[in-house]
Structure 1
Amino acid sequence: MIISVDHGNKSIKTPNALFTSGLIVSEGLQGFKTDYICWNNKYYTLTEQRIAYLRDKTEDERFYVLTLFAIAKELERRKVPETLDPIDITLLVGLPPAHYEQLHSRFEQYFLRRREIVDFEYNGKYYSIRVSKVLSYPQAFAAAVTQFGTLKAHSVAYIIDIGGFTIDVLKLRSGHPDLAVVESFEKGVITLYNGIASKCNALYARILEDCDIDEVIRNQPTVLPGEVQQLIRTMTNDFLTEFYNFLRERGVDVSTSKCVFAGGGSLLLRGMIERGNKVAFPIFIEDIHANARGYELLYQSEVAANGQQ
């Protein structure tokens, strides 16, 4: 069975599931109606409070457990019955393009775990899995693959994948990667959230959550006072301007280049990017699951080319 998982710093995505990269661990069930996993005699439940940024997600077990949730959700969607007979899984994952060379081997081994059988309980159902193969791919490029039919028509384009903590930038020529520009910057929307929350607390003694900031950025109904809303909009515009200038220093001019935005951060900021009129030719990949679906397309292409799975 093939399962692809996009491990974002803000959220975990499979082709069909989306949930925040946050966990609470306990010794027993908490009594609330929430998704849970019992593994290694500990209970894990999902939370909207995301894990603090980890450049190397193999530092502890949390992203492994989040992956068990992702696998369980895919098994449930595919109506796989609970079983104690191991289900063999080919796991497809991804990394920021600029981190790929350094981290991909460690990342793959983190999930492979010597192909050991892993037993766990998910919402009262019992599963046994064995991750028999792990393949990793560059984020951003994977998202671009889902739009290859469109992108191959452009002689030069830049994929800009705005994620939780990283922004990945990849140059494409006729839909194929040009390694002249392969960058990953630690300037994602989490840095924006942190800056806004810190300044709002200092100026107005208000503690904001990410969802409070999202409401203002998306022009959704909010209970925040006008001065806080204005602060959020101003800091978000400054964030984007600083990023555009940052790209320009690296040879990417958004005022003249074809820019293809991917990732949850891009969807969050879409309205402000479009209203800012600083990006001449913005294209948005609207599917937040694009990286996870792109991993599957890349894998299928490899299988077709090699004639084996």
Structure 2
Amino acid sequence: MIIAIDHGYYAIKTRNCSFPAGITPFGDREPYTRQNVLTFGGCFFVCGSGRQPIQRDKTANDNYYLLTLAAIAQELQARGAPRECGVTIAAGLPLTSYGREKPAFRKYLLRNAGQPTEFGYEGKKYRITIEEVLLFPQGFTALMTQPDLLADEPSMLLLDIGGWTVDLMRIDNGRPNIDTCHSLEFGMIRCIDEVREWVRQNTGLSLTDAQIEQVLAGRPCSLEETVRGLIREQGRVYTERLLSAVLEAGFDYHALPVVMMGGGASVVSRHIRPSDGLCRTVTLLDDRVNAQGYERAVAALWGDDAQG
């Protein structure tokens, strides 16, 4: 069975699921809830609890491995699949660090290759054998879910707005131009932290990530309109700074059509104005699109018989 996982700094995504990339260890003490609780090696972990500190090297500790097990459990449940099975993981890395990080990340996920891994999730037992790990360049692979986007454009800019990084690449005639790949540490975590500080300075209120995300996404919230206005104001400031960084990186969005994706795409697209002069904008709002692209990539490699 193919299970694709997008190991984001802000969220973990599969074909059907998405949850925050936070994880809270409880040791051998059973936590207050069964929801999102992973049991592994005699210890309890609550997955999806906020966000963890930025971890540039995702192999530095076991957090992303544990989140991988939680993602597999959620995806199997979403598919109604057996809790004992063999799995091929399809995952991704940024183009700018793909070659450098690929061996270590594959080894990290494949630590028990060919041997079953037993764990529990939300009170149910799982016995999963990770048989293979296939890694793909993130961002560009997601475009496999939208083949028509490439049909009539000789060049375009792909803007993948993640939790910590914003990955940029130019695509010429349907192929990524490797020399143009950039990764900016200017993702949505930076935006949310700056919004929180701006609101605290102006109102004294301490907002949660969830409240800020709700307003930035244009969804209803019981905060006063003056506070919501401050949040939207900073959403626009972040968008202006991001567009400026894109230009400074050598990408002329006045001339290049822009495909926006990632968890921050909905926020940025809401705060773009006609006066910004973007040539053409296409927004992929589903934050699971990278994971869906990885599964399409495996299907392309293995042919139509690839199962997932």
Both proteins in one fold, TM over 0.5: yes
Structure 1 equivalent of residue 286 of structure 2: 287
RMSD after superposition: 2.0
Q: Which amino acid aligns with 1:96?
A: P
Are 1:95 and 2:96 an aligned pair? no
Instruction: Note if contact 2:182-2:249 (Cα within 8 Å) is conserved in structure 1.
Output: no
Cα 1:274–1:95 shift into 2, 3 Å = farther
Are 1:18 and 2:13 an aligned pair? no
Instruction: Note if contact 1:10-1:50 (Cα within 8 Å) is conserved in structure 2.
Output: yes
TM-fit CA distance, 1:138? 1.1
Instruction: Note if contact 2:37-2:121 (Cα within 8 Å) is conserved in structure 1.
Output: yes
Q: Which amino acid aligns with 1:13?
A: K
Instruction: Note if contact 1:160-1:260 (Cα within 8 Å) is conserved in structure 2.
Output: yes
TM-fit CA distance, 1:243? 1.5
Range 39-48 or range 156-165, more displaced:
39-48
Alignment of 1:26-105 (within 5 A): 26=26, 27-83=28-84, 87-105=85-103
Secondary structure of the corresponding residue to residue 169 of structure 2: strand
Instruction: Note if contact 1:274-1:282 (Cα within 8 Å) is conserved in structure 2.
Output: no
Structure 2 equivalent of residue 265 of structure 1: 264
Cα 1:3–1:47 shift into 2, 3 Å = closer
Range 211-220 or range 15-24, more displaced:
211-220
Cα 1:274–1:211 shift into 2, 3 Å = farther
* Separation of aligned partners in 2, 1:289 and 1:82: 22
Write the deviation string for residues 192-241 of structure 1: whole angstroms up to 9, x where unpaired: 11112123223322111122212322333233334433332222212111
Q: Which amino acid aligns with 1:78?
A: R
Q: Which amino acid aligns with 1:54?
A: Q
Cα 1:275–1:210 shift into 2, 3 Å = farther
Structure 2 equivalent of residue 137 of structure 1: 136
Q: Which amino acid aligns with 2:107?
A: Q
TM-fit CA distance, 1:270? 2.2
Q: Which amino acid aligns with 1:37?
A: L
TM-fit CA distance, 1:133? 1.0
Structure 2 equivalent of residue 5 of structure 1: 5
TM-fit CA distance, 1:187? 0.3
Instruction: Note if contact 1:148-1:175 (Cα within 8 Å) is conserved in structure 2.
Output: no
Instruction: Note if contact 1:218-1:269 (Cα within 8 Å) is conserved in structure 2.
Output: no
TM-fit CA distance, 1:173? 1.4
Are 1:239 and 2:243 an aligned pair? no
Secondary structure of the corresponding residue to residue 67 of structure 2: helix
Alignment of 1:243-254 (within 5 A): 243-254=242-253
Q: Which amino acid aligns with 1:15?
A: R
Range 285-294 or range 12-21, more displaced:
285-294
Secondary structure of the corresponding residue to residue 5 of structure 1: strand
Cα 1:199–1:114 shift into 2, 3 Å = same
Give identity over the alignment, percent.
29
Range 22-31 or range 293-302, more displaced:
22-31
Q: Which amino acid aligns with 1:252?
A: F
Give ranges in structure 2 of 5+ residues lacking alignment.
none
Structure 2 equivalent of residue 109 of structure 1: 107
Structure 2 equivalent of residue 200 of structure 1: 199
* Separation of aligned partners in 1, 2:49 and 2:268: 20
Count of residues paired in the alignment: 303
Alignment of 1:145-224 (within 5 A): 145-224=144-223
Write the deviation string for residues 237-259 of structure 1: whole angstroms up to 9, x where unpaired: 12111111111122212222100
Give ranges in structure 1 of 5+ residues lacking alignment.
none
* Separation of aligned partners in 1, 2:275 and 2:189: 21
* Separation of aligned partners in 2, 1:274 and 1:294: 29
* Separation of aligned partners in 2, 1:23 and 1:249: 36
Instruction: Note if contact 2:5-2:91 (Cα within 8 Å) is conserved in structure 1.
Output: yes
Q: Which amino acid aligns with 2:8?
A: G
Cα 1:88–1:82 shift into 2, 3 Å = closer
Secondary structure of the corresponding residue to residue 160 of structure 1: strand
TM-fit CA distance, 1:175? 1.9
Normalising by structure 1, what TM-score?
0.91
